[in-house]
Amino acid sequence: MFFSVLTLFPELVTTMVRESITGRALEADLFAFRTHNIRDYAHNDYGKVDDTLYGGGRGMLMMCQPIFESWEAAKTDCDVESDSRLTVYLSPKGHVLNQALVEKLASYNHLILLCGHYEGVDQRVLDEMEVQEISIGDYVLTGGELAAGVLIDAVARQLPGVLPTPDAVRQESHFNCQLEYRQYTKPAVWKGREVPPVLLSGHHKNIDKWRQLDGIRETMLKRPDLFQSLKFDENIAKEFVKYCRDMELDS
Q: Indicate whether 167 belongs to any domain.
A: no
pLDDT of residue 246: 87
pLDDT of residue 164: 79
pLDDT of residue 235: 92
Specify whether 38 is located in the same domain as 111.
yes
pLDDT of residue 231: 85
Closest CA to 6 of 103, 147, 107, 123: 147
Specify whether 147 is located in the same domain as 189.
no
Specify whether 137 is located in the same domain as 201.
no
Specify whether 183 is located in the same domain as 101.
no
Structurally, the chain folds into a number of domains equal to: 2
What one-letter code names the amino acid at 152? Answer: I
- Would you say 218 and 171 are in contact if contact means Cβ atoms under 8 Å apart? no
pLDDT of residue 139: 92
Specify whether 73 is located in the same domain as 128.
yes
Whole domain around residue 237: which residue ranges?
A: 174-246
Specify whether 179 is located in the same domain as 89.
no
Q: Indicate whether 77 belongs to any domain.
A: yes
Specify whether 140 is located in the same domain as 74.
yes
pLDDT of residue 104: 97
Which of 94, 123, 156 represents a domain boundary (last residue)?
156
pLDDT of residue 166: 61
- What is the rounded (10 degree) CA torsion for 230, 232, 234, 237? -60
What is the dihedral sign for C-alpha 210, 213, 216, 221? negative
How confident is the chain (251 residues) per 10-residue block, as mean pLDDT? Answer: 98 96 96 98 92 92 97 97 96 95 97 94 97 96 96 96 70 66 94 94 95 93 90 90 79 39
pTM across the whole model: 0.84
